[in-house]
Amino acid sequence: MQDKVKLAVAILLVIAGVAGFYALADSLMIVRIISVVAGLAAGAAVAWTSVPGKTFYAFAQESVVETRKVVWPTRKETIQTTGIVAAFVVIMAIFLWIVDGSLVWLVRLMMGRE
């Protein structure tokens, strides 16, 4: 029950930050942005103290560890893959252009307009 209350308070703090952005319409933009950031920070701080918040934080840390294990492609591999994709897109565009033009010609021929 405590966790649900904490999460509800966190959501209300975020809503209050966004509401502050609109309530401070006559203020400087930096003040309005600080209002939103403060609401988000306060909401995150309250949510972090709940069990779901701590679980999410642990999940995020594990995700960072897993991301470091990924073997990222080299610059050369990335450029080659991008080139192959771009070439395929150009070839497909030309193919679809030819098919479309042929179908337009065929329809015009069948309707007696050609």
The pair of structure tokens assigned to 76 is 């050369």
What is the predicted pLDDT for the residue at 112? 86
First vs last Cα of the chain: how many Å apart? 76
What is the tens place of the pLDDT at every residue in 8-61? 999 999 999 999 999 998 989 999 999 999 999 999 999 889 898 899 899 999
Sequence spans of domains, the chain:
1-70, 72-114
8 A C-beta contact, residue 8 and residue 34: no
Q: What is the pTM of this model?
A: 0.55
pLDDT in tens, 90-105: 999 999 999 999 999 9
Q: Measured between alpha carbons, how far is 50 from 74 in angstroms, rounded to an integer?
A: 41
pLDDT at 107 over 70: yes
